[in-house]
Amino acid sequence: MAMTRVDPVQVQVRTDWLRGTPKEISWGDHRLPVTGLVAVRDESAAFSMALGPRTVFEVDTPLARVTVSYRHWTRRWTIDGLDRARRAA
């Protein structure tokens, strides 16, 4: 099964102070602790100046592997995709 793209959902993300990597993802009543960092993608040059840069994190949680992105100019986090078949063991 592949990563399922979802409409971006705004979430709150608690990050590590030193590295800036996600530690916990929450929205509404849901809280997902991050159990592992899989990949980081810096997309600073991939977007026009109107949209601004973003950084994409692929993380493992107990529920699923989740792709979250951080838009630097608006300082907002969104969930962009998830894969329940590839959750952390």
40-87: pLDDT as tens digits: 988 877 666 667 788 999 999 998 899 999 988 888 998 888 787 765
The answer to whether the beta carbons of residues 63 and 72 sit under 8 Å apart is: no
- CB 78: neighbour CB atoms within 10 A? 20
Provide the token pair at 69.
């992105």
- Residue 1 confidence (pLDDT): 45
Residue 77 burial by Cβ neighbours in a 10 Å radius (0-12, 13-18, 19+): buried
Work out the number of other CB atoms within 10 angstroms of the CB of residue 58. Answer: 19
Q: Are 84 and 8 in contact (CB under 8 A)?
A: no
